Amino acid sequence: MKRYLSDWQAITACEAKRDSEIEALRQQISEVESRTAREISRHRADQAEAAAVIRDHGQTDDDVAELLEISTKQARQLITTARAHRGTPSLGASPTSTATPTEHPERPRHVPADPSRQQRPQQVSDPAATVEGRTPVQPAQTGEDQT
């Protein structure tokens, strides 16, 4: 009987420790998710600002879309988001749209004829580089096809 009760107490202690560790891990996961969401939000705002800077340098919405290899709709959404964040009026763009290209993926405007040569759309890390004609920096491929 003693052996049985001793093992029962050991099992209860193991379960309590397991539950405590799981709760700590869930808290860590929640913190990682929150931190990542904040970082992504900052990067999306930066992307929107980069698109708006390109637009402010005299490019049309279509030019911005072509440079960033996104749809004109996505370019307008980015520009609208940046202008709303700046607090300036947005001419010719939807005032209510704040969607980002990653929320509504669309096919790139320029698809190579050879599918084996397809690339992910380029992310502009330096808007001045694109405006001045230099090639923007492209992130490393992750193996996922996000086109």
Residue ranges per domain, the chain? 2-107
Q: Say what the pLDDT of residue 93 is.
A: 42
Task: Tell me the per-residue pLDDT of 12-54, one tens digit each, with 9 for 90 and over.
Answer: 999 999 999 999 999 999 999 999 999 999 999 999 999 999 9
Q: Say what the pLDDT of residue 86 is.
A: 84
List all residues 6 or more positions away from 105 whose beta carbon is below 8 Å from its beta carbon: 146, 147
Nearest to 146 by CA among 107, 98, 99: 107
Q: Residue 11: enclosing H or E segment and its boundaries?
A: helix 2-56
* 54, 131 Cβ separation under 8 angstroms: yes
> Is the predicted pLDDT of residue 128 greater than 80, yes or no?
no
Q: Please give the model's pTM, rounded to 2 decimal places.
A: 0.51
- Mean pLDDT across the stretch 109-138? 41
Q: Say what the pLDDT of residue 119 is.
A: 41
